[in-house]
Amino acid sequence: MTKTIAQGTVLQPGQRKIIQSGSQWLDNSGERVVLKDDQGTTKDQTPTLNDDDNDDRSWQRSSDGGSSWVFRTSTKNSSN
């Protein structure tokens, strides 16, 4: 599935953009999220991740903006 962020959107350090879907659009294993610019160049991406427990946790950056990913309690509208 592809989601498009409005052209001209700029995220400054510490800002976030929440992308939501009315239904599940990621499976629990073997998928990743890729952020590309309008030329199709990959700017950021998650590693291929798995959620075998299917609970209220989500993959998040540790620390915010860092390069490592951790599996923690979901924190919508908070730092990830």
Mean pLDDT by 10 residues, the chain (80 residues): 82 78 73 84 84 77 73 70
pTM summary value: 0.61
Instruction: Kindly state whether residue 25 falls inside one of the protein's structural domains.
Output: yes
The per-residue pLDDT for 77 is 66
Instruction: Kindly state whether residue 60 falls inside one of the protein's structural domains.
Output: yes
Range of the domain at 76: 18-80
The per-residue pLDDT for 63 is 67
Task: Tokens 């915010």: give the residue.
Answer: 64
Summarize pLDDT for 24-40 with one digit per residue, the tens.
667 777 888 888 888 88
Q: How far is CA 34 from the centre of its chain?
A: 8
The per-residue pLDDT for 44 is 83
* Total number of domains in the chain: 1
Residue 66's identity, in one-letter code, is G
